[in-house]
Amino acid sequence: MVAKAELHCHIEGAASPDLVLAQARRYGVDPSSFIRDGAYVWGDFTGFLAAYDAAAGLFRSEEDYAALAEDYLTGLARDGAVYSEIFISPDHAVKAGLSPDAYTDALGEGIARARAATGIEGRMIVTGIRHFGASSVEAAARFAVRCGHPLVTGFGMAGEERFGHPRDYAAAFDLAREAGLGITVHAGELAGWESVAAALDHIRPARIGHGVRAIENPDLVRRLAEEGVVLEVCPVSNVTLKVFADLASHPLPQLLAAGCRVTLNSDDPPHFHTSLAHEYAVAAEAFGLDDDALAGLTRTALEAAFLDEATRAMLLRRLGDKAVAPEA
């Protein structure tokens, strides 16, 4: 089994419908507007965000969040992952009635439980929500800077990419970068190549969430490759959200061939009927990547991880030992 690593997964988006149904029963909420027959129900990206928000609103206690993180990372480890970064959203926590500190501590507790049980390493990236506006994203950045949680190592931004302009958020990212946090930002998913170029110019990220519509502009692909900006590619998410019509038209192979640094990620796995293991299987079947190539994507993820160098070195050694681990 190929050792895996994930840099792009929204922890509220990783909650399975069954778990959310159990939370709905616990809190006496009718989830039938966004979960039917055991599956999330939405039509387009806006509908997806509404379902995402509704599910997130059913995680209201520290134990709810600790169990969610523990469950997700334990499952990843079972699928051969040695490392996981999760996007966390203080805005969603506050909407659900938790303080950002209690929320982050609870997720950190879940990560620690999964690590104790499986050895998987986990870190958290605090994200602002783009369509909540620049001041909200700046508040999230200030929280990320002051929270001091040892597993919070990055700052990012998700949400509606067609809202505002990257220049509106530059101050928030400058705050986070100057405090030593790793910088990633969603771009080039719902908006075109210009969105990626503007993100590079104004936010100066080490990594881009998705970035795949850069393929529309060969000069931009060259720039990404030359600058070594890592793409957190989520193939099944992109096809499910109709960013590309099907896997055959997904540009991951072309981006790799152009020298871009690419990683594999599940984004919001149950919403897109995927998992990190499925993303690796898709990369093998649809993109023709062999085990060595897949191990190379894992290596890129570990090299791009928002991690201290000692932990990075340990994980790269572990990857080297089990790049193509014997079948478990």
Interface positions with Zn ion (CB under 5 A): 267
Is position 160 annotated as part of the catalytic site? Answer: no
> Is 10 labelled a binding residue?
yes
Residues 136 and 169: their CA atoms lie apart, in Å, by 10
AA letter at 309: E
Minimum CB separation from ligand ADE for residue 210, in Å?
7
Residues 129 and 91: their CA atoms lie apart, in Å, by 8
- Under a CB-based contact definition with an 8 Å cutoff, are residues 312 and 305 in contact? yes
57 binds, among ligand ADE, Zn ion, none (CB under 5 to 8 A by kind): none
Please select the residue that binds ligand ADE; options are 3, 4, 6, 10, rule is CB under 6 A: 10
Minimum CB separation from Zn ion for residue 57, in Å?
19
Verify binding: residue 186, ligand ADE, rule CB under 6 A: yes
Closest CA to 125 of 149, 151, 154, 159: 154
Verify binding: residue 13, ligand ADE, rule CB under 6 A: yes
- Burial of 37: CB neighbours in 10 Å, binned 0-12, 13-18, 19+: exposed
Verify binding: residue 52, ligand ADE, rule CB under 6 A: yes
Please select the residue that binds ligand ADE; options are 64, 138, 268, 279, rule is CB under 6 A: 268
**Per DSSP, what are the bridge partners of residue 152?**
124
Residues 180 and 198: their CA atoms lie apart, in Å, by 22
**Token pair 């690593």 in the structure block, residue:** 5
Minimum CB separation from ligand ADE for residue 300, in Å?
20
- Spell out the residues 6+ positions from residue 69 whose beta carbon is closer than 8 angstroms to its own: 11, 86, 106, 107, 108, 109, 110, 111, 114, 122
- Under a CB-based contact definition with an 8 Å cutoff, are residues 284 and 296 in contact? no
Query: Site for ligand ADE (CB under 6 A): how many residues?
Result: 10
CA distances from 216 to 190, 213, 253, 311 (A): 13, 6, 14, 36
237 binds, among Zn ion, ligand ADE, none (CB under 5 to 8 A by kind): ligand ADE
Verify binding: residue 159, ligand ADE, rule CB under 6 A: yes
Verify binding: residue 299, ligand ADE, rule CB under 6 A: no
Verify binding: residue 156, ligand ADE, rule CB under 6 A: no
- Under a CB-based contact definition with an 8 Å cutoff, are residues 9 and 84 in contact? yes
Question: For residue 310, what are its two tokens?
Answer: 């000692």
- Spell out the residues 6+ positions from residue 39 whose beta carbon is closer than 8 angstroms to its own: 17, 273
Verify binding: residue 189, ligand ADE, rule CB under 6 A: yes
- The backbone torsions φ and ψ at residue 132, rounded to the nearest 5 degrees and listed phi first, read -85, -10
- Select 14 or 319, whichever has its Cβ closest to Zn ion: 14
Q: Which residue is nearest to Zn ion (CB)?
A: 267
Please select the residue that binds ligand ADE; options are 64, 70, 138, 267, rule is CB under 6 A: 267
Please select the residue that binds ligand ADE; options are 11, 82, 158, 230, rule is CB under 6 A: 158
> Is 8 labelled a binding residue?
yes
Verify binding: residue 237, ligand ADE, rule CB under 6 A: yes
3 state SS of 36: strand
Verify binding: residue 250, ligand ADE, rule CB under 6 A: no
> Is 271 labelled a binding residue?
no
Instruction: Catalytic residue, from 109, 121, 189, 232: name it.
Output: 189
Verify binding: residue 231, ligand ADE, rule CB under 6 A: no
- Select 80 or 266, whichever has its Cβ closest to ligand ADE: 266
Residues 222 and 225: their CA atoms lie apart, in Å, by 5
Write out the residues near ligand ADE by the rule CB under 6 A.
Answer: 10, 13, 52, 158-159, 186, 189, 237, 267-268
> What residues are annotated to the active site?
189
Residue ranges of the binding site for Zn(2+):
8, 10, 186, 267
Residue ranges of the binding site for substrate:
268
